[in-house]
Structure formats: structure tokens, C-alpha cells
Amino acid sequence: TTGIKPLVAGNWKMNGLKASAGELAALIDGFDAGLAAKADAMVCPPALLVAAFAEKASASPVTVGGQDCHAAEKGAHTGDLAAEMFADAGAAAVIVGHSERRTDHGESDAVVKDKALAVHRAGLVAIVCVGETKDEREAGKTLDVVGTQVAGSLPEGATAANLIVAYEPVWAIGTGLTPTADDVAEVHAFIREKLVAMYGDVGGKVRILYGGSVKPSNASELMAVANVDGALVGGASLKAADFLGILAAY
Ligand code: PEP
């Protein structure tokens, strides 16, 4: 969208060990002033790597995010992590409502919204994911599903600085399949309309990322679509060369 600086965010999912800091270092090295002038870059590694990555990236324009958090600030929630802990570790953002969380952990829109509110409570940027399944798309329900997720998952009181929406068709994640540019344009315009209805002017400035099988070879086409303000990238974000190849689309 005109006037919005795009963001390419890498979701490493459950991939990466301490030694993977080398990929972060390569990304930081390659993310030169020319690229950084055109787009922002963020890496969301497994939670155990967030603190070390944030430290490593602190002198660079690359930011670090988490992949999920609990809605509570602290307490008896064994194994969970609070948004405040991500803030304390140096994260700038937390992804919430990724389809793998919605599917593997049964997270409802209400749960996702509580998590997004927690991210804001901690002073971080919430990257809220939405997207339809293959069956839903084939049944012509894409806009219905995405509309319901947007209405139910997005937090009240958001600003253009602390909310990012990621449209990730579930059937495009990790499959090599992508929607057509026209399909992406349709859904992103629809999300933009909903954002403006919910937040007024702010809604016109919230970034809407596309996610699902983005790679260097298709990034230029997808990133050129109206209302696509960057990408959320899984597989291709694991290798600095691919990540930089996507950033080169700008
Ligand atoms: C994701 O899961 O956020 C994602 C977009 O994955 P991939 O790029 O591997 O399709």
C-alpha cells in the first residue's frame, strides 16, 4: 500500500538451534542500507533463541519476534511464555493466531484476540494471522472465513504501529502453492476495508502481510499486489540467501 513501509518477517517455526545464529548473521550482513531503506526485516525464531538473536541483531535494523505467547502476564501456566517475557528478551513483536497454532492447539478467534491484547499490554507489535483452508476456498467461503477471523481475532485499541495482519491461506503454507495475484488482491482489499471499519484512519495504515509459499522467484509478483505490505515467510526465511532474495523484490 502506498505510504506504508513493507515488512518481510521470517517465521522459523520449530526450526533452528543455537548454531543457526550464523543464518541471522548472514541476513544482517546482507541487509544493507539499500535494502533497509525499502523494507523492514524481522526474524521470528523458536522462543529459546529469541534473547540471543535479539542481542545479535541489536546493532542492526533487523528485529526479532516470537511465534506465540500466552494471554496472561504470569502465573501457573507450565511451559507457556508471557508476552512480557518476549519483551524482556528483546523481541519487537509476537506472531499470534498462526494457522498451525489454530489447528494444532485449537486456538479460537477469542483466544487469539486475548493473545494479541497481551502482546499490546507488553508494548510489542502483534502479528495476527488469518486465512482460509482449501475446503473453505473451494466452497467459496474465503471472505466469510477471513471476515469472521478478522472480526474475532483483532484487538481493540490497536495502532498502525502495533498491529500487523498476515493473510495466510492455509493451503498455501508450506505447499509451494500460491493464490493468484487477483485472489490475493481481493482478500487484502477486503481485510483493508474491515480494518478501516474497525479502526478508522488507523486501519488504512496497518500493514497487511501476505504469507504462504513466498520465495525469491514469486516475491516480486506477490509484493506488487495492492494492499500487500510485505510478507510472512516460513520455509524460505530459514536461509539468509532466500530471505535476502525476497527482500530484493523491493
Ligand atoms: C508460514 O507458515 O507463516 C508460512 C508462510 O510458511 P511458508 O512460507 O513455508 O509457506
Residue 186 lies in a domain: yes
166: Cβ contacts below 8 Å, ≥ 6 apart: 9, 95, 127, 128, 129, 130, 208, 209, 210, 211, 232
Residues 6+ apart with CB under 8 A from 135: none
Closest CA to 159 of 126, 137, 184: 126
Distance 185 CA to ligand 1 centre (A): 18
C-alpha cell of residue 93? 513483536
**Could you give the ipTM of this predicted complex?**
0.97
Ligand 1 atom closest to Cα of residue 213: 10
Active-site pick, 70, 84, 98, 188:
98
Query: Is 1 a member of any domain?
Result: no
Asked whether residue 2 is domain-assigned, the answer is: no
| 12 among annotated binding-site residues | yes
pLDDT score at 1: 56
> Domain for residue 28, yes or no?
yes
Check if 173 has its Cβ closer than 6 Å to any atom of ligand 1: yes
The count of domains in the chain is 1
Question: Residue 234 sits in which domain range?
Answer: 7-247
Cα angle at 25 between 19 and 30, to 5 degrees?
A: 145
Residue 46 domain-assigned (yes or no): yes
- Structural contact between residues 116 and 97, judged by C-beta atoms closer than 8 angstroms: yes
Residue 3: the pLDDT is: 85
The reply to whether 12 falls in a domain is yes
Backbone angles phi, psi at 60, to 5 degrees: -120, 170
Residue 168 falls in the annotated catalytic set:
yes
Phi/psi-derived region of residue 56, left when phi > 0, alpha when psi is between -120 and 50, beta in every other case = alpha
Rounded to an integer, what distance in angstroms lies between the CA atom of residue 184 and that of residue 207?
14
Q: Residue 218's domain is classified under what CATH number?
A: 3.20.20.70
Give a yes or no: residue 15 inside a domain. yes
Is 66 annotated as contributing to ligand binding? no
Tell me if 80 is assigned to some domain.
Answer: yes
**Three-state DSSP class for residue 118:** helix
Q: Is 188 a catalytic residue?
A: no
12: left (phi over 0), alpha (psi -120 to 50) or beta: alpha
Query: In angstroms, what is the C-alpha Rg of the chain?
Result: 17
Report whether 99 contacts 132 (CB < 8 A).
no
Query: 0.90 exceeded by the pTM?
Result: yes
User: Mean pLDDT, 10 residues at a time, over the chain (250 residues)?
Assistant: 89 97 98 97 98 98 98 98 98 98 98 98 98 98 98 97 98 97 98 98 97 97 97 98 97
